[in-house]
Structure 1
Amino acid sequence: MTNLEERSRTAPPHPAAATGPVRRLLASRDVPLGGLRAMHVRRTLPQRDLPLVGAWCFLDEFGPEHVDMRVLPHPHTGLQTVTWPVSGEIHHRDSVGSDVVVRPGQLNLMTAGHGVSHSEMSLGERPLLRGVQLWLALPREASDMAPSFEQRTDLPLVTGDGLHVTVLVGELAGHVSPARVHSPLVGADVVVEPGTRTAVPLHRDFEHAVLVLEGEIDVAGMRHGPGPLLYLGTGRTHLDVASTAGARFLLIGGEPFGDDLVMWWNFLGRSHADVAEARDAWEHDRAARFGTVPGHGDDHIPAPDLPNVRLTPRRRRTS
């Protein structure tokens, strides 16, 4: 997906994550995606005071909504996109030659690196779409790598104690996703059966957050339902989970990310110059850096104007 939100231009630093367990509810905001006939997404990352959870730097939840998704070719740099549909089918095409349909239970992982472009279109007439798309910041050593794409249909599914856990990326309780990522992290889709009361093991050094997709859960001693993101901080060895009627939630986490980042529109870099160079390439010589997406001719999403201020990194405070 493409980030059309103006407030993504700049943000102040957020408090250090390495302060132990916390419980903070972070409200979502409604963001139109794709012009006048836009679908709408609920965005919970980045926040003004929490731009990342581990390497996770962007989180959109969409649907359930009967809508035509038409996201024309647009660019990315310095990140990975993670697409996980709950219902509906999305046609993905990109400049590295991928042409696939992603369906519920399948994961699309696109690595932008130095630069990639792609499009996303729903299949069918105003289908019921629901799902999430997230971005992962690439660490400095991988941020300029060649772009790539993979679709995973062989994700680990772990069941027991009233839970059905799909490990999307990273590792949870010894179960490792085959999707290739570049920093220690976890992303998991957790279905909770009615009447369940159990605990999910966590990495103590990771920071974590939970987004409820369906139902209501008691998590870490707090009642939590769809809408906001529950940020849990670091230092937890497990996550207490209970649900009376059943629920489904997304668990994300990872080692607190150490690099300074500048994120604007669909570009992630280490400086204002990185972003400005990427924007200039997209506007004036797209194919050279970002390739072309077959099937769209010259149709694409133009880059917005850069703000009249110098973009600064999103830093973590240490106190």
Structure 2
Amino acid sequence: MSTVIFLRHKTLGQNSIEELAASLQQGISQVVLKTFPAPSTNIWGMLKNITFAIKHAGEVNHLAAPVESYVLPFMRGKRIVTWHDVSTALQSRSRLKKFLRFNVSMRWPMRYADFIVAISESTRRELESIYPQGAAKIRVIPNSYNRLFTYTPARSTFEMLTPVILHIGTARRKNLERVIPALEGIDCILRIVGRLSAEQNLLLDKHQISFTQESDVSLERIIELYREADIISFPSLYEGFGMPIIEAGAIGRPVVSSRAGAIPEIAQDSVCYVDPEDISSIRSGFLRVIHEGSYRKELIEKGRSNAQRYSPTHMCSAYADLYESLSR
């Protein structure tokens, strides 16, 4: 049985879905990865991707993200599409773009999918609420952390040093605009992964935050940043899953997070929960993790235990079973 995983057109700063696909290729035999050659921003790019999908389709075809779902009706073989979240995928300030994304990326092509994979129960409920006729096709398969994320003890001198706080993602929902003022006056180094907007740069300057910034970093560098960090900042406004939660758990770092979207489902009791819309709540969460050693140790232990539920082996086994069911 040949299985082809189709990856979205490569965009700077977007690597997480590609890493998940690489894990599937490593863990499941006869899996081939193909990357769409063009962005889906115009009809010519879409036609190019449709031609590419027709040419490279296998017995089982898995779209690792829904942005190119419009190719599904044109593909031979069985078809799967994974949704990582719904709100972000269909988000746009333009009503026309929202209409086109909903109909071109979901309502019409989803009819041609044999299975729709949601990465969390939260995402499944979102999908069912806007596409109820597809409920019977939906299967929940959680993401996993990469095998290279292995436990690394944190610095033993944590409280005597300036803690390093790692914040991954600079999109609005990642809530950096509230994290910055929350850290004002706290002796720390904020390490940011993602491109900074003019507004975010102004906030960093206004609140006198000591920070570093990197974008489009490799997996190896991401792992290095986790290991160098003392705390992971993740008080998001919305998440369909929340990869930094399980990555931090696998490495052994405490997380300050929120109860938005799928986060409580994925994190359970392994993170320090804060109100993501309340700067003082975010600040209190960071201060507690910084100053309460026993609480910090508890979060690390719970995080490591929680991460075991999202091992690459579990994810690969679930997808392998799904692929196999389509080949019978």
Q: Same fold (TM over 0.5)?
A: no
Higher relative contact order (CA 8 A, sep 6+): 1
What TM-score, normalized by structure 1, do the two folds share? 0.29
Structure with the larger strand share: 1
- Between Structure 1 and Structure 2, whose CA radius of gyration is higher? 2
